[in-house]
A and B are shown apart, each in its own frame.
Chain A
Amino acid sequence: MKKTGAQILVDCLVKEGVDTIFGYPGGAVLTIYDALYHSPLRHILVRHEQGAVHAADGYARASGKPGVVVVTSGPGATNTVTGIATAAMDSSPLVVFSGQVNTPLIGNDAFQEADIVGITRPCTKNNYLVKDVKTLAPIIREAFYLARTGRPGPVLIDIPKDIQAQSTDYVFPRQVVPRGYHPTYDGHPGQIQRCLELLATAERPVLYVGGGVILSGAAPEILKFAEAENIPVTMTLMGLGGFPGSHRLSLGMLGMHGTYWANLAVTECDLLIGIGARFDDRVTGKINEFAPLAKKVHIDIDPTSISKSVKVHLPIVGDVKHVLRQLLADAPRPRAEIARARQKWLKRIAEWKKDKPLSYRHGKMIKPQAVVEALCRATKGDAIITTEVGQNQMWTALFYEFNHPRQLITSGGLGTMGFGLPAAIGAQAAFPGKTVIDIAGDGSIQMNIQELATAVQHKLPVKVAILNNGFLGMVRQWQKLFYGGRYSHSRMDVSPDFVKLAEAYGATGLRAQLPAEVEPVIAKALKTKGPVIMDFVVEPEEDVSPMVPAGEAINKMILL
């Protein structure tokens, strides 16, 4: 059957199982938008292309399905770059379609022309410029395959305007796999055996779990493995929810703002098994003092993650779900004396926890930690939470108890301020019936506040909780601790009245200024049907604690 490039695109999306796309029309994608007009696809019209990519990313992280974006050429395409880099750092599956100027004009500095394939080369898993309409369908199939398999990631397809209009014979192609692409899923049996040998004698083991566990759907296997072996589990920011935070074996988050007991456990352990985590500098602190007593095992699907920063004793390349199943198949119950030693180890960790629990001092003003705890109570720990970046993100990680995978959606690797609101919109689009809350700061919410209009237009009832301290709080905290208290340009003297702003957008605005007002505001927000902004006026100079100074060993924590 003959179809135009634009019709092929729409048909491929439907056949790939896409139901929702996020986009913004413009000159170079008018033909695609014309084809979308009568399509069954739900299109969410954002207010800025960066918002489209973060929303698609939020949709992908909440649902596990690739997020899809359509934008125009030039500025439309360049506006996606931060979103694509965010997804690349956190291995989130996206397929981004950008319009391009007509083929004969490419390279002529034409109106709204940008070399988006060149610009996004280092932050995509792969990208394509479509030069022949016959190759469009196979490229789309390949792109979805790459986005969702192996270590997932963003893929960009740049389609010139004339290609969108050209016709060709079309059948939906069979799966296309590039010949140079062969992710390893099963762990090497010899390495599995060696890992079991290390386990058999480990008296003080720790599992260090990252976002890979969530991406591969390995939460049930982690739970089984940890319980069978009686091993405590610490999580990276991206790994939160991969293991239940309320479980007796959970140590919470480790690293720069990790819990006291998690960081001490990692420092004292004799076997550290990294699972779908990449030994990021925010986790390890000073590299040569990270888990200095431990034999280190690293399970990861991406060979480049292994021995990148920390030299490991035993690498296992593979999908963590597959590898954990292999380990579980052969794992013997720990021998009696090892089981006793592990019991002692857990007791020691429990003492650290009792000694220095997560805490903060209550005062006359609202404490941001109390807001996060109240949100957790009000949603029974069951909401989808997105965050912005900075103090709001760390308090969320520490004070909201995540028990399920895909419950926390946050920009971990790139640390993109402005991520939370559009990501919440995307997550809400994937799960219309769930409570979705963006925990934000007064600084970061202003980076993509325009997307509130998107939420209102598409009836996506996201709730935003602004921890409003009048500062770029994390910058201020570093300036206080490491720059002699010189608050250089970190004070936001002027911000909009967020209640009025919400109303201006057609959403609901609520404010709490006293501790007693926190719970009623949250209750009212959760009962309100549409999008809500909650403005919590909090203690301006509250710090995130614990904190490991940059470059220090992670057991050298400052408790603030």
Chain B
Amino acid sequence: MRKHTISVLVENQFGVLAKVAGMFSARGYNIESLSVAETLDPTISRMTIVTRGDDPIIEQITKHLNKLVPVIKVSDLTGTPHIDREMALIKVEAKEKNRAEILRIAEIFRGKIVDVSPTSFVIEVTGDDEKITAFLALLKPLGIKEIGRSGKVAMGRGPKTAGVEPNGEKEGG
């Protein structure tokens, strides 16, 4: 059971998210994280889906995604060189004796303090899953009050794009 990051280009229409999410739930596949936003072409959105499964399951997932009519292109980024990032907003308790240490940890992780109050900080941090998990582990003993964590966004390395080819060929299948 391996984690896979799948990038999906879809028609930017209402109901497409429900179609994709519904396919996962109806067939018993799990979505660990999901992020969606418009691409340069406003008629196309990119979904980045993190899921888990052995090879036959991942094969079925990518085939079923391709089968959905509003899905334009599916690329499984796992196993190919790629970058993935998520962002977290973390509200920590900022007591007098901890404030300096929190700032130091945030700096090591290239976190930004985006809100300050007499008793709290909100820190913004981006990175891959491991970095954010490590960051949270360090802050935890100091008192985390709230976490907001985004889904993953991902992209292949190098000049090649996952964009739609002129003839709109789907991958795989």
State the A residues within 8 Å of B (CB). Answer: 117-118, 121-122, 125-126, 129, 146, 178-182, 184, 302-304, 307-308, 311, 317
Q: How far is it, in angstroms, between the C-alpha of A311 and the C-alpha of B55 when the chains are bound?
A: 12
Contact present for A180 and B70 (CB under 8 Å) = yes
Most buried by B among A125, A126, A180, A311: A180
- Using known A-B contacts A117-B15, A304-B64, determine if residue A180 contacts B56 with beta carbons closer than 8 Å: no
Contact present for A129 and B15 (CB under 8 Å) = yes
Most buried by B among A122, A146, A182, A304: A304
On chain B, the residues within 8 Å of A302 by CB distance are 67
Q: Which of A117, A178, A179, A304 contacts B164 (CB 8 A)?
A: A179
Contact present for A303 and B173 (CB under 8 Å) = yes
On chain A, the residues within 8 Å of B72 by CB distance are 179-180
Chain B interface category by residue count: 20 to 34
**Stretch with Cβ within 8 A of A (4 or more), from B18-26, B111-119, B122-130:** B18-26
On chain B, the residues within 8 Å of A182 by CB distance are 168-170, 173
Residue B73 is within 8 A (CB to CB) of chain A in the complex: yes
Residue B11 is within 8 A (CB to CB) of chain A in the complex: yes
Main secondary structure of the interface of B (DSSP, over half): mixed
Give the Cβ gap from B45 to chain A, nearest Cβ, in Å.
12
Contact present for A303 and B66 (CB under 8 Å) = yes
On chain A, the residues within 8 Å of B18 by CB distance are 118, 121
Residue B59 is within 8 A (CB to CB) of chain A in the complex: yes
Contact mask B60-79 → A, CB, 8 Å, 1/0?
A: 10011011111111000000
Q: How far is it, in angstroms, between the C-alpha of A118 and the C-alpha of B68 when the chains are bound?
A: 15
In the assembled complex, 30 residue pairs joining A and B whose CB atoms fall closer than 8 Å, in A order, are: A117-B15, A121-B22, A122-B23, A122-B26, A125-B69, A126-B69, A129-B15, A178-B11, A178-B69, A179-B164, A180-B68, A180-B69, A180-B70, A180-B72, A180-B168, A180-B170, A181-B69, A182-B168, A182-B169, A182-B173, A184-B173, A303-B63, A303-B66, A303-B67, A304-B60, A304-B63, A304-B67, A307-B56, A307-B59, A311-B56
Residue of B nearest to A126 (CB): B69
On chain A, the residues within 8 Å of B68 by CB distance are 180
Q: How far is it, in angstroms, between the C-alpha of A118 and the C-alpha of B19 when the chains are bound?
A: 9
Contact mask B1-25 → A, CB, 8 Å, 1/0?
A: 0000000001100010011001100
Q: How far is it, in angstroms, between the C-alpha of A125 and the C-alpha of B18 when the chains are bound?
A: 14
On chain A, the residues within 8 Å of B56 by CB distance are 307, 311
Residue of A nearest to B13 (CB): A128
On chain A, the residues within 8 Å of B60 by CB distance are 304, 308
Residue of B nearest to A184 (CB): B173
Q: How far is it, in angstroms, between the C-alpha of A345 and the C-alpha of B169 when the chains are bound?
A: 44
Pick the 8 closest A-B CB pairs, nearest first. Answer: A179-B168, A180-B72, A126-B69, A304-B63, A303-B63, A303-B173, A122-B26, A180-B71
Contact present for A122 and B173 (CB under 8 Å) = no
Q: How far is it, in angstroms, between the C-alpha of A302 and the C-alpha of B164 when the chains are bound?
A: 22
Q: How far is it, in angstroms, between the C-alpha of A122 and the C-alpha of B71 when the chains are bound?
A: 15
Give the Cβ gap from A186 to chain B, nearest Cβ, in Å.
13
Give the Cβ gap from B47 to chain A, nearest Cβ, in Å.
13
Contact mask B142-169 → A, CB, 8 Å, 1/0?
A: 0000000000000000000000100011
